[in-house]
Amino acid sequence: MSPARTGELLRSRLVRARGVPTVATDEVLARTTGILYLTCGLLVLAATLRSQSWSGANIDGIRIIALVAALLGPVVVYAGHRLPRPLYHVLVAIGTAIVTLLVLFGNGGEASVALAVPYIYVIIDASFFFGGLGMAFHVALVMVASTVAMTAVGLPLADLLMVQGFFLVVSVIIAWLARIADLAEHDSLTGLVNRRGFDRRLDQELARPRRERGELALVLLDVDDFKTLNDNLGKRAGDQVLASCAGTWDRVLLGHQTLSRYGGDEFAVLLPGSSLGKAADIADRLRALAPDGVGMSAGVAAWTAGDTPSILFGRAEVALYDAKSAGRGQTVVYGDPTRGASELEAAVAADELLLHFQPVIRLRDNAVVSAEALVRWNHPQRGLVPPNDFIPQAERTGAIHALGRWTLAQACAAAVASSDRRGIGVNVSVPELRGSGYVDQVHQVLSITGLSPERLVLEVTEALFDEDDPQVVRTLQGLRALGVRVAIDDFGTGYSSLRWLEQFPVDTVKIDRSFVAAIDPDRGRQPVLSAIIAISRSLGMTTVAEGVETPEQAIILRELGCDYAQGYLFGRPVPLEQLPRESTAPVG
């Protein structure tokens, strides 16, 4: 699993386990905290202009602190939601520190009592947005800090006790109210958010600026024949199926993906950042995880500009209806031009596909040693469609065989036509390897084009490869017997990586770009990357790092002993004629 995915899974588990209210989204938290900072600063500043009775107070000190708070507010409102979660605790603790300084500068008397009021802000923020431990920590911090400050400026014990009493009561009431509000958005059987909670999140997601949100997909899942199941086995068994689906799915989905029991036996999943193809994959995965003997149908739709939530839902419902009427137990994607195999096959025949090529360079000397062929669909209406939007569906419908044949033949022909003897990488889908004729197909293409087999590298994505199909292993062995090389693509995104490496006949490991993106140049060691490179080496495999975007990443990879690299730093995928002969990337 990639580090990014592991981190995200961990975060989602933590958020769920700590009982943080679901209303505590990053946006709401940042906005509220920022507004509290701003209003605290402005109100205190205003008070320093008017209050004549604050004699003895350090008015200049109070003004500086209030100004800092007021200035921090808008920054937190604007950018706070981009902060990693743990930093919110720091923000709230800074709030406590600011109020404590205000109390101290009040120098006792009326000013200090008045300036202790904003502690309530901190209490509200912490009690509403943090679960158990986090809340307890901030409330305790406020109580200790306020005791120290108020004692230091000589406020009477009675005042102190009264203020602390307010803090405790407010904290308990706010935490209680937040959790009651939360319950109204949850389904009692599954513990998932209900229709109301889901609709609110969808509204929230659609309210975000488009550039921040990116793609957004919606999946509706419905249990097939749920009524028969209830009638035959009883309502309790029906409930168990729903609870079991909810539990299993909730574990595999990431923190930013929302799973909801939308009503009856229907579940909805909101997938920010997912394309149609990816969402369809996720729908398939969730369907496969349903309890044994329980069939599921899924409808998938993507948000397009101007859609209201009901339009998006309408589309997903149409797709779900199609899935049911086409025989159930399947995923249907709304309005996907690749919905039927015939459409993509027709596109292959109509010459609507094209290949772009991305250089692969040798890190030792920056020489371009090969190129990877990446397919695109030049769709008459949609323009240039990226492969992730049609390959998953092509794999499902079987159109992948026609597409794979075309890609292989085109890529090999292009390699032969080029004047150099560089290698050519071609992506292969697992369904192609499952066919018994794949080795013959490759053999034929090599004979027809005259490409020598050692120039061809067939790339198979590891994430898709989590099964032990003997035919796949036979195909890989057959390919290597032809002299063709085999690479594991996106290594680290699957689940059985190490066993895989030992067991399967491969020559090259292509390290997924999430590992490269996680390189931190300030940290000397890159333990995960060095381990992958060392293991690959010890098994006699070469390594290619994917997604290299900066010279620093390239330098570190070279130092770690990675053999080759690919990424925007060295060149984006381009038509063959624009493929560079040498890399001009600025790597020291």
**Residue 538 · residue 530 · CB < 8 Å:** no
Restricting to residues 165-194, name those near Mg ion by CB under 5 A. none
194 or 514: whose CB is closer to ligand C2E? 514
Q: CA-CA distance, 339 to 343, in Å (whole number)?
A: 7
Distance separating alpha carbons of residues 22 and 260, to the nearest angstrom: 12
Partner in contact with 504, chosen from ligand C2E, Mg ion, none, beta carbon below 5 to 8 Å by kind? none
**Distance from C-alpha of 179 to C-alpha of 19, rounded to nearest angstrom:** 9
Structure tokens at 319: 């797709």
- Stretch of 34-42, 271-279, 423-431, 530-538 contacting Mg ion, by CB under 5 A: 423-431
Residue 490 binds Mg ion, judged by CB under 5 A = yes
User: CB under 8 Å to 548, separation ≥6 — which residues?
Assistant: 513, 516, 554, 557, 565, 566, 567, 568, 569, 570
Distance CA 89, CA 91 (A): 5
Q: For residue 462, state whether it binds Mg ion (rule: CB under 5 A).
A: no
* Cβ proximity to Mg ion, 257 vs 429, nearer residue: 429
Distance in angstroms (rounded) separating the CA atoms of residues 283 and 331: 7
Residue 584 Cβ vs Mg ion, minimum distance, rounded to whole Å: 23
What residue is closest to ligand C2E based on CB? 567
Contacts of Mg ion in 441-460 (CB under 5 A): 459
Rounded Cα distance, 2 and 489, in Å: 13
Decide: 584 and 363 in contact? Cβ < 8 Å. no
Q: Are 565 and 557 in contact (CB under 8 A)?
A: yes
Asked whether position 275 contacts ligand C2E by CB under 6 A, the answer is no
Out of ligand C2E, Mg ion, none, what residue 567 binds, judged by CB under 5 to 8 A for its kind, is: ligand C2E
- Residue 391's nearest CA partner among 381, 380, 399, 383 is 399
Asked if residues 81 and 27 have their Cβ atoms less than 8 Å apart, the reply is yes
Q: Which residues ranging from 472 to 491 are in contact with ligand C2E (CB under 6 A)? A: 489-490
Q: Measured on CA atoms in the order 465, 470, 471, 474, is the torsion positive or negative?
A: positive
Q: Is 432 in the site for Mg ion (CB under 5 A)?
A: no
Smallest gap, in angstroms, from Cβ of residue 525 to ligand C2E?
Answer: 23
Q: For ligand C2E, which is the closer residue by CB, 106 or 573?
A: 573
Q: Give least dist CB 516 to Mg ion, A.
A: 11
Nearest Cα to Cα of residue 460 among 470, 447, 472: 472
Among 274, 427, 514, 550, contact with Mg ion (rule: CB under 5 A): 427
Is the CB of residue 297 less than 8 Å from the CB of residue 329?
yes
Question: Residue from 567, 583, 585, 587 that binds ligand C2E (CB under 6 A)?
Answer: 567
Judged by beta carbon distances under 5 to 8 A according to partner kind, the member of ligand C2E, Mg ion, none in contact with residue 388 is ligand C2E
User: In angstroms, what is the minimal distance from the CB of 574 to ligand C2E?
Assistant: 10
Instruction: State the Cα–Cα distance between residues 240 and 291, nearest whole angstrom.
Output: 10
Nearest approach in angstroms of CB 354 to ligand C2E is 11
Applying CB under 6 A, the site for ligand C2E has a residue count of 24
Contact between 336 and Mg ion by CB under 5 A: the answer reads: no
Annotate each residue in 369-408 with x if it binds ligand C2E (CB under 6 A) or - if it does not, as one string: -----xx----------xxx--x---------------x-
Does position 508 bind Mg ion by CB under 5 A?
A: no
* Residues binding Mg ion (CB under 5 A): 427, 459, 489-490, 546
* Residues binding ligand C2E (CB under 6 A): 358, 374-375, 386-388, 391, 407, 427-429, 459, 461, 489-490, 513, 546-549, 566-568, 573
